[in-house]
Chain A
Amino acid sequence: MDYTLTEEQEQLRRLVEDFVAREVKPYEETAGEDFPWPLFRKLGELGLASIPFPTEYGGGGLDYTSYSIVLEELSRLGTHLGSVLAVHGLPQLILNQFGDESQKRKYLPAMARAELLGAFALTEPQAGSDAAAIKTRAELRGDKYILRGQKIWITHGGDADVYLVMAVTEKGKGSKGISSFIIEKGTPGLAFGKRERPMGLAHHTREVFFEDCEAPRSCLVGREGDGFKVAMTALDSGRITVASTSLGLAQSAFDYALSYANERQAFGKSIGEFQGIQFMLADMAAAIEAARCVTRKAAFLRDNGLPFNAIASMAKLLATDAAMKVTTDAVQIYGGYGTSEDYPVQALFRQAKIGQIVEGTNQIQRMIIARELLKKFKQ
């Protein structure tokens, strides 16, 4: 067992650290709410837009451990690029694992170069945690699928060039009647709603509408009826990425709090000398360490072809809860200043919350973990 980074992983980490400090942070400080295209394109130039996918499709060919390290580092200092990369990774993962050769050739290299931005469209107004309850329909008519329905909270919605969409192809079959499609922006009938403004997400989400959206038959990814399996497979891996970005956020809040506790004077000494603050700092550090170990283990299991979905859920649960706790305590340590927009920790606090909700709420994660634990008693 080894807890140290390899030389290459450390180099990657440093590369991202450098990039975040030199370009990402300054850009985000002055940018509005539009999608950060220059930063995204730069990810492509640096070879970071497709880290764990095969080199033959332009990817980095590295493992999930390296990917997780990069995502954590990209989320340091409260930057949003880690989440951008994680979301972009979902359609890539699905195309790579379930797409046919021509779909892979068509999309993966361009996504690796960050010329095409990806999005993942599963959630609907009435189907969040209960993903099998989606209502968007896809009907095969001749050589075309006609899609009708509505998606909500779609990250990169309206900005993304390609959408991995889940839709029902056979009604009444529940999760077995769902299929997945790759739909390009500009497809007739594909429309976008207003910007939604989820707390702490810089780049916002949009509703996505399919109004008799006509897509060629070749846009089906995998087989008809496999869509739910496809989505769940993507989310299993996606949970490692959400854990990683939450870790970066938590670490950032902790670093700020530690340094502030050392500087801020009260009653004639630095507040870090008071046990009340020390215990908070110790608990924050312990929560981050623990969550990081589980996240790395989840990546390790995945990299070694071992079952990892329960551990990935644990990682997601622990890391996002740690981020919520650590950012909350960071605000507390900053006191009144912690609530001020002139100081960094309130933004991290606002950012942390959504981690407990996306990619399966933390209640859903517990269901997944329990189901795995109890599986062996069932036939």
Chain B
Amino acid sequence: MNIVVCLKQVPKKDSILRIGADQKWIDERDLSYEMSEADAYALEEALRQKEKHGGEVIVISSGPERVRQSIKEALAKGADRAIHLTDPLFNSGDPAVIARALAGALKNEKFDLIFTGLQSDDYGFAQVGLILAEMLGLPSATIVMEVQPEDSGVRVKRELESGWFQWVKLPMPALLTIQSGINQLRYATLKGIMAAKKKEIKEVKAADIGFTESDAISAQSIQRAYFPEKTKRTEIIEGKPAEAAAKLMEKLRFDARVF
């Protein structure tokens, strides 16, 4: 079973973020990066499926030179080969543009499943996977917590709200967006790191996949990035103590949602 895993590199979780000079995104200088968490789980799930059923794990990622480090990490953990979309034309905050680039690069790949993380730790759109499925004409399932390949397709357990789950069956090839916590992440090993030196990282430019300037046009743009603005509002609750307490409880429960 061949599985493609889409990876995104994002600023490390403990980064100290500053707003960039153009006020549209964070200042990316001096940041350290890591694999987006849900993507790390998607990779782990792919590696586990490969260990059970054989086949190949191919990772694909788009972005500048620094992204290579996350690709290498995936290879060190056990992915077989990688595709790196390096053309600056692919760089976009629009999930449709990224999905278009990924679809172009995957057109000639043979795979049974595509995994993406449920959503990225930076933009958090949760869209790339679904748009990619649409573009490739694949069935898809989101927020996946368990993957069971069967003869005629794949059974997956989806997470719903309030602790509910749902089992869905899809024909293959299919695309699944994987929820964080589906499994336990492995470490790369020293041996894995050394073995990764010999694994293929295919670089893909826009021209290689017929991706044009018009494909890169974003349908959406960021207007302004800013830190949550702190506001302070004081409200005096009037009435007898028992009534005031009841009102306070209501506000804490439904407005502040601390219970």
Q: Report if A62-B190 is in contact (Cβ < 8 Å); known contacts: A8-B197, A11-B76.
A: yes
Chain A: minimal CB distance from B121 (Å): 16
Chain A residue numbers with a CB within 8 Å of B197 are: 8
Chain A residue numbers with a CB within 8 Å of B189 are: 15, 45-47
Q: Which of these, B68, B72, B190, contacts A47 with CB under 8 Å?
A: B190
- The answer for the CA separation of A8 and B73 in the assembled complex, in Å, is 10
Q: Report if A60-B190 is in contact (Cβ < 8 Å); known contacts: A7-B69, A11-B73.
A: yes
On whether the beta carbons of B187 and A46 are closer than 8 Å, the reply is yes
Interface residues of B in 45-96 (CB under 8 A from A): 68-69, 72-73, 76
Q: Which of these, A11, A18, A51, A61, contacts B72 with CB under 8 Å?
A: A11
Chain A residue numbers with a CB within 8 Å of B193 are: 8, 11-12, 15
B29 CB-CB contact with A under 8 Å: no
Number of residue pairs A-B, CB distance < 8 angstroms: 41
Q: Report if A18-B190 is in contact (Cβ < 8 Å); known contacts: A8-B197, A11-B72.
A: no
- The answer for the CA separation of A8 and B76 in the assembled complex, in Å, is 10
Chain A residue numbers with a CB within 8 Å of B72 are: 7, 11
Q: Counting chain A CB atoms within 10 Å of each CB, which of B76, B188, B190, B192 scores highest?
A: B190
- The answer for the CA separation of A19 and B193 in the assembled complex, in Å, is 15
What mask results when residues 1 to 44 of chain A are scored 1 for a CB within 8 Å of chain B, else 0?
00000011011101100110000000000000000000000000
- The answer for the CA separation of A7 and B69 in the assembled complex, in Å, is 8
Chain B residue numbers with a CB within 8 Å of A12 are: 190, 193
B135 CB-CB contact with A under 8 Å: no
- The answer for the CA separation of A62 and B76 in the assembled complex, in Å, is 16
Chain B residue numbers with a CB within 8 Å of A45 are: 189
B168 CB-CB contact with A under 8 Å: no
Q: Report if A48-B69 is in contact (Cβ < 8 Å); known contacts: A8-B197, A11-B76.
A: no
Chain B: minimal CB distance from A9 (Å): 9
Chain A residue numbers with a CB within 8 Å of B188 are: 11, 15
- The answer for the CA separation of A307 and B83 in the assembled complex, in Å, is 44
Q: Which residue of B lies closest to A9 (CB)?
A: B193
* Residues in chain B within 8 A of chain A (CB atoms): 68-69, 72-73, 76, 187-194, 196-197
Q: What are 21 A-B pairs at a CB distance below 8 A?
A: A7-B68, A7-B72, A8-B194, A8-B197, A11-B72, A11-B73, A11-B193, A12-B190, A12-B193, A14-B73, A15-B76, A18-B187, A19-B187, A45-B189, A46-B187, A46-B190, A47-B190, A48-B190, A60-B191, A61-B194, A62-B190
